[in-house]
Amino acid sequence: MADRAGNDIERLIDLMAKLPGLGPRSARRAVLQMIKKRQLLLNPIQQAMANVSATVRECTICGNVGTTDPCNLCQSPDRQTGQICVVADVVDVWAMERSGVFKGRYHVLGGLLSALDNIGPEELRIPRLVQRVADEQITEVILALNATIDGQTTAHYIADQLERSDVTISSLAQGVPIGGELDYLDDGTISAAMKARKSF
Amino acid sequence: MDWRDEGVLLSVRKHGEGSAILEILTEHHGRHAGVVRGGGSRRMAPILQPGAQLSVEWRARLEDHIGSFTIDPVKSRAAAIMSDRAALAAMGAVAALLTVGLAEREAHRALYQRTIDLLDSLGETPDWPSRYALWELALLTDVGYGLDFSECAATGATQDLIYVSPKSGRAVSRDGGADWADRLLPLPRFLRLDSAEEDMAEVRAALQTTGHFLENWFMPTLGKQVPAARVRLVSALGKQS
């Protein structure tokens, strides 16, 4: 019996160690902490995970994850602003929502185009985006994609796909981050910031 | 085992939580892979964009191990081309063709130099699309599918060579190809002279020719298709005048 309990704990540690940011050692510490605080941590976590597992689903409209389909963001009438913010992943929706600066709706692509990883337009939700732009009276598509080769390649591809639709296509600015010191910036960021300079 | 070299970053793949496996086209060691500790971090992301020029030191216990790179950035090229869809596609096409097309650890010094010259010209000089077409020609030559523009395959003439035979890859003169011109590929003058050209119609014709041999000669031997980035490049250049 004691052996079985030990195996279960080891299995939990092994599973926790697969999470990003956790290695075997930190997973072991996390599990030990949960065991020590069974009422405060272990049981509520177990309950919360069971709930999420039972209810989580991908929104068929935007690709965000939530407990309803359509998700809360797509259901909200306040967000029917005619703007769609296109992001690569759900984590980007969360980042944008943390900032509280965008009040429209989102479209999660589910990745970026990558020739080397064989990710083409069919693997992403680009056709669905084109359809949404046509169906939802969209006036502006904001491309909030990574400032990387793959991110910008994807942005240009989407712009091409939306060329015939009557929408404004914009993208996030690139340059010096808040709190950034020039001395610590890479030359590419400085170059992009110089190109995107504005009157002061 | 260790060596120092300089090269162009072709691809980055995450390896574990914080590391990355880089593929770099180096001058003296060809296309070479290695692990960079911390290469998957956000701090390294701006440096590790495809096309970046890096000074690298490679170390491994045995030569056939993947080994690890210590890198030092020399030049970033990504920021300069991010707003130019054709240049961005060209960068992607160069990286993809070199990654799938070149054998590992086999030096291609002439092609390396051409690659550097091309990447430095992307978005900077107006004739870069023609330099890209010339680069594809050089790539085909380096991997054993060189085209022969020295004389007409039909008549032996060395003047007025305006076609390429899609079967032999040899030049054909205007007179020699008169009867089956519709089945021959175009041979733009700049492709034959290995000189840059700004006329986009000529560049498109050159890409049609090199594209034929990439698609029908080179890629089938690798069991691959022409990279999507090249298709996007041709599409983007098709919209330019």
pLDDT in tens, A97-127: 999 999 999 999 999 998 777 788 888 999 9
Residue A115: the pLDDT is 72
Asked if B17 and A187 come within 8 Å (Cβ–Cβ), the reply is no
- Round to whole Å and give the CA distance between A138 and B87: 30
Cβ A187–B91 below 8 Å, yes or no?
Answer: no
Report in angstroms the alpha-carbon separations of B116 from B82, B85, B113. 18, 20, 5
At what angle are helices B85-101 and B109-121 packed, to 10 degrees?
Answer: 170
DSSP-derived secondary structure for B144-187: T---B-SS-TTT---SSEEEE-TTT-BEEETTTTGGGGGGSEE-
Q: Residue range A148-160: average pLDDT?
A: 93
Up-side HSE of residue B61: CA atoms within 13 Å toward CB?
0
* Alpha carbon distance A92, A106 (integer Å): 10
Q: Is the pLDDT of residue A4 over 60?
A: no
Question: pLDDT at position B41, please?
Answer: 86
What percent of chain B has a predicted confidence (pLDDT) above 70? 100
Beta-bridge partners for A141: A84, A169
Residue B21 CB partners (closer than 8 Å, separation 6+): B12, B13, B15, B33, B34, B35, B36, B39, B66
| Range in A2-6, A63-67, A115-119, A161-165 the model is least confident about | A2-6
pLDDT-based confidence at residue A49 (cuts at 50, 70, 90)? very high
How would residue A3 be classed by pLDDT, with cut points 50, 70 and 90?
low
Position B82 scores a pLDDT of 87
Among all chains, which residue has been given the structure tokens 């597992």?
A53
Chain B contact for A23, CB < 8 A? yes
Contact B184, B165 (CB under 8 A): yes
Task: Dig out the tokens for A39 from the structure.
Answer: 């009422």
Domain boundaries in chain A?
2-55, 65-199
Confirm if B10 and B36 have CB atoms less than 8 A apart.
Answer: no
The predicted structure's pLDDT at residue A5: 60
A137: left (phi over 0), alpha (psi -120 to 50) or beta: left
Write the residue in B49, B73, B79 that is nearest to A191 by C-beta: B79
pLDDT tens, residue by residue, B130-148: 999 999 999 999 999 999 9
Angstrom distances, CA of residue B232 to CA of B115, B117, B236: 19, 21, 6
Complex ipTM:
0.82
Q: Does domain A2-55 have CATH number 1.10.8?
A: yes
Residue B196: other Cβ atoms inside 10 A: 17
Nearest-angstrom CA–CA distance, B198 and B176: 28
**Preceding peptide of A121 cis, ω within 30°:** no
Question: Residue B7's closest CA among B54, B67, B70, B58?
Answer: B54
* Mean pLDDT computed over every residue of chain B: 93
**Which class in CATH covers the domain with range A65-199?**
alpha beta
Structural domains of chain B in order of their starting residue, each with its CATH number: 2-76 (2.40.50.140), 82-149+187-238 (1.20.1440.120)
Region B83-90: mean pLDDT is 92
**Over residues A57-77, mean pLDDT:** 93
**What pLDDT is stored for residue B80 in this prediction?**
84
Which of B47, B50, B92 shows the shortest C-beta gap to A186?
A: B47
Output the average pLDDT for chain A.
91
Give the confidence band of B241 by pLDDT, cuts at 50, 70, 90. low
Asked if B171 contacts B150 with a C-beta cutoff of 8 angstroms, the reply is yes
Q: Which residue of A has its CA nearest to B76?
A: A188
Q: If you count them, how many residues does chain A have?
A: 200
Distance in Å, alpha carbon of A7 to nearest chain B alpha carbon: 26
Alpha carbons A95 and A108: distance in angstroms, whole number:
13
Q: What is the mean pLDDT of residues B24-37?
A: 96
How many contiguous H segments (helices) and E segments (strands) does chain B have?
A: 8, 8
The partner residue sitting opposite B85, judged by closest CB among A156, A187, A188, is: A156
Q: What is the pLDDT, as a whole number, of residue B67?
A: 95
